[in-house]
Amino acid sequence: MNTKGIKLWDENAVPKHRIQWCPGCGDFGVLAALKQALTELEIVPHELLLVGGIGCSGQIRNYLNGNAFHGTHGGALAYALGAKMANPELEVICLAGDGDTLAIGIENFVHVCRRDPDLVLLVMNNGVYGLTKGQDSPTAGLGKEVRVFREEHPPMVDPLLLALASEATFVAQSFSGDVKHTARMIVEAIQHPGFAFINDFSPCVTYNRFNTYDWFREHVEYVPPDHDPQDKDAAWRLVRDFARRGKVPLGVVYRNPRAKEPHGRLPMWEDELAAVDLEPVLATYR
């Protein structure tokens, strides 16, 4: 492992921000995997923007030495899309939770899948709203057999099936208990020329006592090597086959870059702002 690169991402991050996650939180594994992926790809802080969602997951941006933006609940993907439109050369990674993404933010998720901008969405999925004391999120119920539903507790949202139905071009799944594999998924997502979605199972050790690390270790299986990720029908079959067997797949489920015209930078900076004095505006932030 490139310890020099890891140190680059650690510097001036953790000392300034007390880590607020519970001991054992799965997000620690995601943080370690993200550092490994950025180091492997030799991405340095000024080349990257981290956009955090609301929730425990959104705090991850505070523990890395880089540029970051913390948006409103459900809006992380919209802010990430705007940043990418303004500067297509910038690497943009959206770090959000399952509640943030698949409840109030579900419309942003569906339409960003359709638009296919060149950015990464890494969802830390624990099935609960950990920041507000453990209410069920839209992904609650993984692995549980429920025969009767209520309006307050409808069937769970399957992030993989929703991404496939919304025409995402890269759909993968990881488990924060396997940091090396999660790092590999992040590397492949960053390298994908389009919107890349990773659903990472990141156990909540405080509020979700069902989907524990032990539960995941018993139920995860890696995507078989003979799976063709370019075949969308095969992707649907794979997810459903795993579900029938009571298992969850880890790996790239679908990857098929879309043919599209290149996106250019928004045509405003050099011309429209050439004669604008930004100093009075900047001074208000100093």
- The domain spans of the chain are 3-283
Question: Residue 70 forms beta bridges with which residues?
Answer: 52
Q: Return left, alpha or beta for 133; rule: phi > 0 is left, psi -120 to 50 is alpha, else beta.
A: left
Q: What is the mean pLDDT of residues 174-190?
A: 98
pLDDT of residue 154: 86
Task: Specify the pLDDT at position 96.
Answer: 95
In the numeric block, the tokens 């492997």 are attached to 40
At residue 1, does pLDDT exceed 60?
no
Q: What is the pTM of this model?
A: 0.90
Higher pLDDT, 123 or 281: 123
What's the confidence (pLDDT) of residue 264?
63
Q: What is the pLDDT of residue 116?
A: 96
The span from the CA of 204 to the CA of 125, in Å, is: 9
pLDDT at 13 exceeding the cut of 90: no
Greater confidence (215 vs 260) lies with 215
pLDDT higher than 70, residue 280: yes
Encode pLDDT of 133-166 as tens digits.
Answer: 878 889 998 988 888 888 878 889 999 999 999 9
**Per residue in 58-110, pLDDT tens?**
889 889 988 999 988 889 999 999 999 888 889 999 999 998 899 989 999 99
Sequence-ordered list of residues with C-beta below 8 angstroms from that of 62, at least 6 positions apart, any chain: 13, 16, 17, 52, 68
CATH code of domain 3-283 = 3.40.50.970
- What confidence category does residue 225 fall into, taking pLDDT thresholds of 50, 70 and 90? very high
Taking residues 165-172, report their average pLDDT: 98
Residue 106 has, within 13 A of its CA and on its CB side, a CA count of: 13
What is the number of other CB atoms lying within 10 angstroms of the CB of residue 206?
A: 17
Q: pLDDT per residue over 18-52, tens digit each?
A: 888 999 999 999 999 999 999 999 999 999 999 99
Give the residue carrying structure tokens 């492949």.
188
Read off the pLDDT of residues 232-274 as tens digits, 9 standing for 90 and up: 999 999 999 999 999 999 999 999 999 988 766 665 566 666 7
Average pLDDT across the chain, whole number:
91
